[in-house]
Homo-oligomer: A and B are copies of this chain.
């Protein structure tokens, strides 16, 4: 069991990190600053999260949980029940929306991550997308196509379209790309 003060500090650190990320440039958010902003010692941050990557992953996982639940056990069209093609479209819509609302956090995680492709989140997303593609269109190399599609969600592209306020252009573009590929 996690002690009460430990839990309080964990929350303080996560909140401080997200606050710093939203108000400062990524390169200015050092572990020292996070600790200071959270009002704890630097050692505490590392004790809780292991390293920079761990901290950022924890933050991302927090933001991503709703989506994960949504596509594994939520109602259609995101969750099970709808035809694969519709579920895929719903998934990419949801992911783009989530990513645009959390670009800074996603970018921070990407940058701190040693191997993105093996992070639990990427693995889960890839398995989901890959599975849907396979059942919607068995002739495709589902595993590969899933990687290619997920590659579109890199934070730098998201940032680009977010800055110009064209995030729905991205969403529609991706959507139509997915549907063309499955046909």
Contact = CB atoms under 8 A, between A and B. Distances in A.
Interface of A: 115-117, 141, 144-145, 147-148, 151-152, 154, 156-157, 160, 169-170, 173-174, 177, 180-181
Contact of A151 (B117, B144, B157, B180): B157
Oligomeric state, in copies: 2
Name the prevailing secondary structure of the A interface residues. Answer: helix
A173 B148 contact: yes
B141 A173 contact: yes
A174 B157 contact: no
B156 A117 contact: yes
A145 B177 contact: yes
Given A115-B156, A151-B151, 18 more contacts: A117-B160, A141-B169, A141-B173, A144-B169, A144-B170, A145-B173, A145-B177, A147-B152, A147-B157, A147-B160, A148-B152, A148-B174, A151-B152, A151-B154, A151-B157, A177-B181, A180-B180, A181-B181
Nearest to A169: B144
A157 B144 CA distance: 10
A154 B153 CA distance: 11
A144 B116 CA distance: 24
Contacts of A147: 152, 157, 160
